[in-house]
Amino acid sequence: MVHMNGAVPGGGIIEVVPNVVYETGMQPVVPNPYNPTTEIRFTLKDSERVEISIYDIRGRRVVELTDEVFSNGPHSVPWHSQDQSGQRVASGVYFARLKVGEYRFTRRMMLVK
């Protein structure tokens, strides 16, 4: 237990952990290949607006997963293999595109049924 003044019962020193600094980026989609759900994972250096869309192999947008502000740090957005109208999509290759400010990231995904 730590008291309000920072003292630890029985003596001792409290270790101060510096703030974690994140870099903006997109991690691999997990799992991949997947059925029926996968996670689009990303990290933000600062709080920013994030747009994530899924595209098919022909470059057509299947669904927009998010277009909102996220805080800094790690995040994950699921995709349940559904298009914009909520219909299940066919097996195949899809691409998750992440747009954050001037950054653009793309990850290839494979849905297997």
Q: What is the per-residue pLDDT across 23-73, written as a single tens digit (0 to 9) for each?
A: 999 999 999 999 999 999 999 999 999 999 999 999 999 999 999 999 999
How far, in whole angstroms, is CA 73 from its chain's centroid? Answer: 10
Q: How confident is the model at residue 1 (pLDDT cuts 50, 70, 90)?
A: very low
* HEC profile of the chain: CCCCCCCCCCCCCCCCCCCCCCCCEECCCECCCECCCEEEEEEECCCEEEEEEEEECCCCEEEEEEEEEECCEEEEEEECCECCCCCECCCEEEEEEEEECCEEEEEEEEECC
pTM: 0.81
What structural domains does the chain harbor?
25-111 (2.60.40.4070)
Edge to edge, the sheet with strand 73-79 lists 25-26, 38-44, 73-79
